[in-house]
Amino acid sequence: MKILLVSPEARVWNSRTHIHNGLGYLAGALLAAGYETDIYDGAVEDESLDARLTREPFDVIGISSPTPLINEAWQYARTAKQHGATTILGGPHLTLMPDESMQKAEVDFVARGEAEYTIVEFMQALGRGDGAAEWSKILGLSWKDAQGKVRHNLDRPLSSDLDALPFPAYQLFKIDRYTNLQPLTDGLDPHARSYTILTSRGCPYKCTYCSKPITGDTWRARSVENVIREWKMLVHDLGATEIGVTDDIWNLNLKRAKELCQALIDNGLNKTPWVTVHGMKVNHTDAELFQLMKRAGCKRVGFGVESGDEQILKNVVKKSQTFDQVRAAFKNAKAARLQTMGFFIYGMPGETAATMDKTTELALELDPDLAHFMIASPYPGTALWETVQRNGKLHAQGWSDLAIQSDHAHFDFPGMDNKLVEQKWHEAYRRFYFRPKRLWKRLTSVDTWRNLPERVRDAQRFFVTK
């Protein structure tokens, strides 16, 4: 039996930069179990899914979806059904709202949560063809009985032994079609061979905007040896030119973080640059860690700073970190000659012009190489979503409006309207990037001139208030 794992094209501006590691993990598990498997990433393919399925039939089409892409996922499922395939959907949105998709004729099954074991058991059951008796045994599976009633089996516990999982099937990604991971800081490199790696899953913190439907609240780390084996494969066998660590919080255990860096140095893996894609938590760092990271080949670190207002940071974002810790992390990272990125959020409930100004002031003070300003986006399952449902007014017309990298504020809150948030967001970009030293850096960068149309579009998007 053949299965095609599909990721819909993201209509976001940097969607070609990252492989979908979750699909890589599923493919790794399926290949290890003996199933013929391929990956179709809508962001990089040069033929439509319809054309692909006409050219090559598959028994099962497995589609992944975060919340903003669920409409595209359903569209792909309809295409798959037209080709007579069984459809199974999984990923963050399906885990949060399985019923919504199960009501649809084009969706046969939903897998909730981490699914390396679910997908293999599912393929085995499908192969045996025993129907309900088989489906009811698979943890984390949602299915339809003979009367069409939707059944949700019990949740599958989080994988506790990550070392036991087969490595992602990286070889199935058309890696030449992805760009480098962070074109905004490095300039666009279409010839990069950029891979991502997960050294741990989960995070015990409870930031109110953060959606963790898949990896959950329990931090589970892979052993350093296991991570190094995969890292070697990326560098030596697959020719990685850079690696992105995409853990929720890779440095939760400071001792392990240092051991990992030391092992990269000891194994000579420190010549391939790596970055912490989704940032690290400032309160699990010290000066020694950053020095070791630099020696281990890390070129850039990102930190979730979120807000420059103490009350918003503590009581609304609930980030469990202090400004002193933020300042120390930036200082130590810069001292280790690492490039820095800061992530900042605008428009959390209760924000005012003054609180958002404080955020911009803090960004200017910290002065990271890249400041990434984002507008708060309420995802289902988060505390932010609950607060907005209770006291705010959501503007999003549908799931696709809830992209984090959109230019629109998604909700009003008493005393805070969305136009003010959008204005402050644009202002933050202007104040941060329209400074003489920043402009000079841009104007003297080869990337600016090589990719001029794209950079003009970025400028219009970030700096111009509509």
Interaction site with ligand SF4 (CB under 6 A): 203, 205-207, 210, 248-249, 281, 304
Q: Could you say which of ligand SF4, ligand B12, none residue 183 binds, taking C-beta under 5 to 8 angstroms by partner kind?
A: none
Q: Considering the complex, what minimum distance in angstroms separates the CB of residue 206 from ligand SF4? A: 6
Question: Cα separation of 54 and 51, whole Å?
Answer: 5
Q: Which of 52, 156, 193, 212 binds ligand B12 (CB under 6 A)?
A: 212
How many whole angstroms separate alpha carbon 89 and alpha carbon 112?
A: 9
Judged by CB under 6 A, the stretch of 4-12, 123-131, 314-322, 411-419 that binds ligand B12 is: 4-12
Q: Which is nearer to ligand B12, 144 or 438 (CB)?
A: 144
- Kindly give the residue spans of alpha helices, DSSP state H, lying in 4-115: 21-32, 49-55, 70-82, 92-96, 98-102
Q: How far is the CB of 277 from ligand B12 (least distance, A)?
A: 6
Q: CB 247 → ligand SF4: shortest distance, Å?
A: 9
- Shortest CA distance to 278 belongs to which of 404, 412, 456, 379? 404
Residue 308 contacts which entry, ligand SF4, ligand B12, none (Cβ below 5-8 A, type-dependent): none
Does 362 help bind ligand B12 (rule: CB under 6 A)? no
CA distance 195 to 329: 26
Question: Does 404 contact ligand B12 by CB under 6 A?
Answer: yes
Q: What b/e string do you get for 369-407 counting C-beta neighbours within 10 Å, with b at 16 or more?
A: bbbbbbbbbbbbbbbbbebbeeebeeebeebeebbbbbe
Q: Which partner, ligand B12, ligand SF4, none, binds residue 142 by CB below 5 to 8 Å per kind?
A: none
Identify the CA nearest to 25 among candidates 196, 181, 194. Answer: 196
* Residues 227-246: x where in contact with ligand B12 by CB under 6 A, - otherwise, as a string: -------------------x
Nearest of 181, 172, 224 to residue 370 by alpha carbon: 181
- Give the separation between CA 324 and CA 330, rounded to whole angstroms: 10
Indicate whether 186 belongs to the interface with ligand B12 (CB under 6 A). no
- Beta strands 86-90 and 36-41 are unpaired
- Shortest Å distance, C-beta 8 to ligand B12: 7
- Compare residues 114 and 248 and give the one whose CB is closer to ligand SF4: 248
66's contact among ligand SF4, ligand B12, none, with CB below 5 to 8 A by partner kind, is: ligand B12
Question: What's phi and psi for 30, nearest 5 deg?
Answer: -70, -40
7 near ligand B12, judged by CB under 6 A: yes
Q: Which of residues 88-127 bind ligand B12 (CB under 6 A)?
A: 88-93, 96, 111, 114-116, 119
Determine how many CB atoms are found less than 10 A away from the CB of residue 452. 10
When the beta carbons of 155 and 310 are compared against ligand B12, the nearer one is: 155
Is the Cα dihedral 378, 384, 387, 391 positive or negative? negative
Between the alpha carbon of residue 157 and those of residues 21, 117, 154, 322, the distances in Å are: 20, 11, 9, 33
Q: What is the smallest separation between the CB atom of 438 and ligand B12, expressed in angstroms?
A: 24
Q: Is 348 one of the binding residues for ligand B12 (CB under 6 A)?
A: no
- What is the per-residue binding string for ligand B12 in 274-293, x denoting contact by CB under 6 A? ----x---------------
Chain residues binding ligand B12 by CB under 6 A are 7, 10, 12, 18, 20-23, 25-26, 62-64, 66-69, 88-93, 96, 111, 114-116, 119, 198, 210-212, 214-215, 246, 248, 278, 379, 403-405
